[in-house]
Structure 1
């Protein structure tokens, strides 16, 4: 397979970091991005400010490549929005990588050359074939390895409580969004209207606070039995604590109605509004809009001809799953892992970044950067470096996702995880 490239799927932060490490080691590399620019997924939440500062958002190999190209790093203590992350880092990095990155190239399948997943012979000697769809048609790229950094943004979890869409959910798609609304642009859509927000994480808290500020009448739907707001003033991330406190204040003031134990079974259109019905028969008052923030999941359909070893619960690599299971771990207990934990029975195939976490939340960019550093070392034949995993999370490490910031320089003291305040 000498001379064949490593194909990286996705030109987001982790995919571009993988390319930077591979290129630095002299490994032929092709990055395939379905969108028309680097960070296409990031651009879809460009209005959201990250919890992490710039010091935690720039990969080491990427920095070396960029600085050789004359790039000047942003101030390390600032907290960028998605738009700033893309404009000031991701797009310059893609430009520095040059022709290595191909845009408008959607990967629709990967297989072992000449074999479906049933055939045993040749799996360790034949290269991989990457099926790519472009504006000019479909083509095939023969690759020595594939690194899937396509993320999970395109596959949000549904409103339905069983992991599948609720009855009628697809039919009322014009009334449902699956992301934090950009209220600076879409504020009129929600102002003064009745809005249901489903989800219990920080994205939901961000949406609640923003919608209340826009004068929306908000109903907060929780599958769990109580609302959780984080650590409040004791939270070691002040911005996260402030976010929880604002949401808690809105609830206590009666500006947000909390409905607990609500597992959506069906969605019914009533005129211009929709009614949500729970499995226990409860029906909410009709709402104008529904904001679903129940997390994401990996799209594994185009990997169906590969022999992947995935945990049956998280859909993450089996050796990684116990290290990230949200039932037993938090953002502060991410263990070092690299090529060994991310390998599969299918040789030289790796899922990295958010996709490697399957359905587990709380992914950190620094985690993905270390994943790709280890894998690039392994593919370059430097097995010593690949095995020397050194994931050192900063004391200001976060649980990921969006935050509610009044200013991008909000201080972030040590630590990440704190006791939870409930209501």
Structure 2
């Protein structure tokens, strides 16, 4: 397999880091990116300021590659926006990798050469193939290994509380958004100013949207915000606050809490959306599976998480957890039904391996439907994975990462239970090594 490249799907933070690590290992990386530039998905939420500092957003191997080209690292304690991250780090990194990054090309399938997923005979002796679509047609790239860092941004969860689109959701697409808007953009501002907006979700994206809309309500008369949560409002709904070891993440929750306490946001808790139908005034009314109805709203911002797109991996033998759609050995570490504190043991190739040798899902996609992914986790993943591909088992097994704690115990699944059943959490902070 030595003559074939390591195909990396996605030129986002983790994909480009994988290429940098592969290069240091003497491997030949080839990054395939559907967008026209590095960090295409990051740029779509470029107005959002990250709660990680620059020091936590730059991969060590990438930094070494960039330093060779005279790149100046940003102030380590500053907090960039998504646009800053893309322009000041991801674009220079893609440029440093040069022709090893191909834009405007989409991987539409991965297989074992000459074998569908059913065939055992001769399978291990064959390389992988990545089927790619470009503006000029299709091609097949033979690969030593495939690292899928395509993320989950393009496949948000629907508004519906059972994982499927709510009745009427598709028909109301013109009034439903699946990302926090940039309210500094005059077009976005005019869309929401003076309107009643339902924000559905309880993660960091939802908190970001609540803070932005609360500020809009202060400035634009008639603007109202309804926060629709699937869980009840409890002690942890605003995150870890001052206990969060990422201070900006904790501060976001505190700002959202103040917005609710100030009366800018009304809450509708324990509500799982079944339908979204227009009323006689052509405003949307959400109805829960229990028959509870929301007040009529003009706009809905559904921020209910993401899920992995797996259809183009259908000919690969993956071993995924039936609940999270994450690798089975990783799933117990991140399952929000049982895992505490949002703090995950550092992990790498051993937890990310599949029955199909040489195939790894990394980055946000490796988490399946689980939330709270940090860039640092992805960088550690690809350091270990590229070591494994290069045959350095010792480096692949070694842990080289200390993760900050969220200060929040009890996962999303536990938040649906009565408060008394959450007391004590399920476990303490994990150790830094194993």
In the superposition, the TM-score normalised over structure 1's length comes to 0.91
Question: CA shift at 1:167, angstroms?
Answer: 0.8
Measure, in 2, the Cα distance between the counterparts of 1:150 and 1:28. 19
Measure, in 2, the Cα distance between the counterparts of 1:354 and 1:321. 13
Measure, in 1, the Cα distance between the counterparts of 2:341 and 2:125. 39
- Paired residue secondary structure (1:158): coil
- Paired residue secondary structure (1:225): coil
- Paired residue secondary structure (1:369): helix
Measure, in 1, the Cα distance between the counterparts of 2:225 and 2:354. 45
Q: Is the 8 A contact 2:131 2:139 kept in 1?
A: yes
- Runs of 4+, deviation exceeding 6 Å: 419-422
Measure, in 1, the Cα distance between the counterparts of 2:233 and 2:147. 40
1:253 is matched with 262
1:395-410 → structure 2 map (5 Å cutoff)? 397=404
Question: CA shift at 1:332, angstroms?
Answer: 5.6
Question: CA shift at 1:76, angstroms?
Answer: 0.5
Measure, in 2, the Cα distance between the counterparts of 1:249 and 1:24. 47
Question: CA shift at 1:280, angstroms?
Answer: 1.4
Q: Is the 8 A contact 2:5 2:29 kept in 1?
A: yes
Q: Is the 8 A contact 2:271 2:288 kept in 1?
A: yes
Measure, in 1, the Cα distance between the counterparts of 2:251 and 2:95. 38
Q: Does 1:326 align with 2:333?
A: no
Measure, in 2, the Cα distance between the counterparts of 1:257 and 1:65. 49
Q: Is the 8 A contact 1:123 1:347 kept in 2?
A: no
1:198 is matched with 200
Q: Does 1:125 align with 2:122?
A: no
Q: 2:231 aligns with which of 224, 227, 238?
A: 224
1:343 is matched with 353
Question: CA shift at 1:298, angstroms?
Answer: 0.5
Q: 2:392 aligns with which of 382, 386, 391?
A: 382
Q: Does 1:416 align with 2:416?
A: no
- Paired residue secondary structure (2:125): coil
Q: Deviations over 1:44-84 (max 9, x none)?
A: 10000111101111111101100001101001000110000
- Paired residue secondary structure (1:205): helix
Question: CA shift at 1:333, angstroms?
Answer: 3.1
Q: Is the 8 A contact 1:147 1:350 kept in 2?
A: yes
The higher-RCO structure (CA 8 Å, 6+ apart) is 1
Q: Deviations over 1:92-136 (max 9, x none)?
A: 000000000000010111111112111111221111111111100
**Structure 1 residues 362 and 4, CA gap change in structure 2 (3 angstroms):** same
1:402 is matched with none
2:427 is matched with none
Measure, in 2, the Cα distance between the counterparts of 1:23 and 1:331. 35
- Paired residue secondary structure (1:251): helix
User: Which stretches in structure 1 are left out of the alignment for 5+ residues?
Assistant: 398-414
1:71-90 → structure 2 map (5 Å cutoff)? 71-90=71-90
Q: Does 1:292 align with 2:312?
A: no
Question: CA shift at 1:254, angstroms?
Answer: 2.9
1:129-144 → structure 2 map (5 Å cutoff)? 129-144=129-144
The alignment's C-alpha RMSD in Å is 1.8
Q: Is the 8 A contact 2:240 2:406 kept in 1?
A: no
1:6-405 → structure 2 map (5 Å cutoff)? 6-185=6-185, 186-215=188-217, 216-226=223-233, 228-232=237-241, 237-270=246-279, 272-330=282-340, 333-393=343-403, 397=404
Q: Is the 8 A contact 1:330 1:417 kept in 2?
A: no
Q: Is the 8 A contact 2:198 2:300 kept in 1?
A: yes
User: Which stretches in structure 2 are left out of the alignment for 5+ residues?
Assistant: 218-222, 420-434
1:410 is matched with none
Q: Is the 8 A contact 2:347 2:381 kept in 1?
A: yes
**Structure 1 residues 232 and 267, CA gap change in structure 2 (3 angstroms):** same
